[in-house]
Amino acid sequence: MSNVFYRSSKSYPVAVRAEGVFIEDASGRRVLDGSSGALVANIGHGRAEVGAAMAAQAQALAFVHGSQFSSEVLETYASRLATFLNLPDHRFWAVSGGSEANESAIKLARQYHVERGESARFKVITRTPSYHGASLGALAASGMGARRAVYAPLMREDAWPKMPKPDPALSGPEDAGRLRAVLEAAGPETVSAFICEPVVGASDAALTPNPGYHAQVAAICREYGVLFIADEVMSGMGRCGAPLAVRLHAQDAAPVTPDIVVLGKGLAAGYAPLAGLMAGPHVYDTVMQGSGAFKHGFTYAGHPVSVAAGLSVLDIVEREGLVRAAQARGPQLLSGLEALKARHPQVLAVRGQGLLLGVLLGDPDTGEAYAQPGIAERVAAAARAEGLLTYPGSGALDGVRGDHLLLGPPLSITAAEVDLLLERLDRALARTGTPAAL
């Protein structure tokens, strides 16, 4: 009997080693990691230099509590990260995971308004669907019905007004303009922040608004005194072919700069738990010139060994040009997915940015999602049997309907490995076919 509390009752193979885009289990079987775990392993697996950096840091200074000390590695990393993201005046708040980072952003936005004497501002406008994390505040902010349902009694629903997801049929500014109606309905004087994923991740695979969306969102937020939080946990750190996905469509002369940017996953690329947020100078200064302290914290925030992993990962991203690599390999993968769509009628659409891509699945006879979920899990299981890991999901349309696969291999994937990924997905789609009903 195992003493591990697993996430579900299914049987899990035991992973024993990994290198590049491949993971090997205890039976010796190797699978291509087409989703980087959960869009985490940006630099690929098995990078010895990251482990060496972590070991050296652990030997020099393994832990200090953030209420008592800073560390050289944290100071260095924060500066390097701000430069990489072109957020030179922002401050880095380090935590261990994306849920903690979004929780921190929500609480920071609330404290910012309290410090300014606007304590009536507590609501956070989010979108449906969306996913911002598993902790209670981050989950409450998420517009993902299946994950929220059992915990609904623990949430104050009126604190989380919902805005419709991006609509590809609308221009970016028109689409973003719908935020104004949600703000007015909620009472602008009660709204603290608007949070969104610039490229939607797990809840609606790789859905991207049209150009001009984020610039208009930022303008509306400024008009109403609301903070704009960009959740780049999945889309940031080069995955979408830019350091920040919120700037994909921005003009160089006027880049979109959210008040708070939330980061995770690719920060340490799976080598250690690391996430965090970048807070604009006005947010930081308001808190520090007010009460003088962010009334929030975690024991392992800014853990030196995790930060050392992040610094080593950033070295690799910059040295190997992995942001440019995502710009090159992303179109190759998207083009291949378009070819699969032409061969497999259950593929209704493919989309995405860089190496954050989505495959929408459904009924080819109607061109719509099946009434009940299931096909995404079937295709994912068939892909695994073919030696490919994907990230299946469902419920994007109404909490039940809408099946998709999220694809996001390491940014270090080669052209030949992209072709191999496509070959294995092709066979998986052929295996599952088009079931008459689900």
Is 94 in contact with 300 (CB distance < 8 Å)? no
Q: How far apart are CA 199 and CA 165, in angstroms?
A: 11
Tell me what pLDDT residue 250 has. 64
pLDDT digit string (tens) for 395-404?
999 888 999 9
Q: Is 75 helix (H, G, I), strand (E, B) or coil?
A: helix
Q: Please state, as a whole number, how many other Cβ atoms lie within 10 Å of the Cβ of residue 228.
A: 25
Residue (of 108, 109, 42, 91) closest to 413 by Cα position: 42
For 44, 109, 147, 199, 387, the CA distances from 140, given in Å and listed in that order, are 32, 15, 10, 20, 36
- CB-count exposure of residue 184 (10 Å: 0-12, 13-18, 19+): exposed
Q: How far apart are CA 101 and CA 236, in angstroms?
A: 13
Highest CATH level, class, for 15-33+321-432:
alpha beta
Residue (of 39, 19, 35) closest to 266 by Cα position: 39
Tell me what pLDDT residue 252 has. 47
Tell me what pLDDT residue 399 has. 86
Please give the helix or strand (H or E) that residue 33 lies within, else none.
Answer: strand 30-33
Q: How far apart are CA 118 and CA 191, in angstroms?
A: 10
Tell me what pLDDT residue 253 has. 53
Please give the helix or strand (H or E) that residue 82 lies within, else none.
Answer: helix 72-84
Fold of 49-319: Aspartate Aminotransferase; domain 2 (3.40.640)
- One digit per residue, pLDDT tens: the chain, 438 residues? 899 999 999 899 999 999 999 999 999 999 999 999 999 999 999 999 999 999 999 999 999 999 999 999 999 999 999 999 999 999 999 999 999 999 999 999 999 999 999 999 999 999 999 999 999 999 999 988 778 889 988 889 899 999 999 999 999 999 999 999 999 999 999 999 999 999 999 999 999 999 999 999 999 999 999 999 999 999 999 999 999 999 997 644 578 999 999 999 999 999 999 999 999 999 999 999 999 999 999 999 999 999 999 999 999 999 999 999 999 999 999 999 999 999 999 999 999 999 999 999 999 999 999 998 999 999 999 999 999 999 999 999 988 899 999 999 999 999 999 999 999 999 999 999 877 545
Domain range list for the chain: 15-33+321-432, 49-319
- Structure token digits, residue 212: 């001009």
Residue type, 33: D
Extended beta strands in 183-274, E state? 191-196, 227-231, 260-263
Residue (of 238, 234, 283, 233) closest to 257 by Cα position: 283
CA torsion sign for 280, 281, 284, 286 is negative
pLDDT digit string (tens) for 350-395?
999 999 999 999 999 999 999 989 999 999 999 999 999 999 999 9
Tell me what pLDDT residue 164 has. 96
Tell me what pLDDT residue 102 has. 98
Tell me what pLDDT residue 437 has. 47
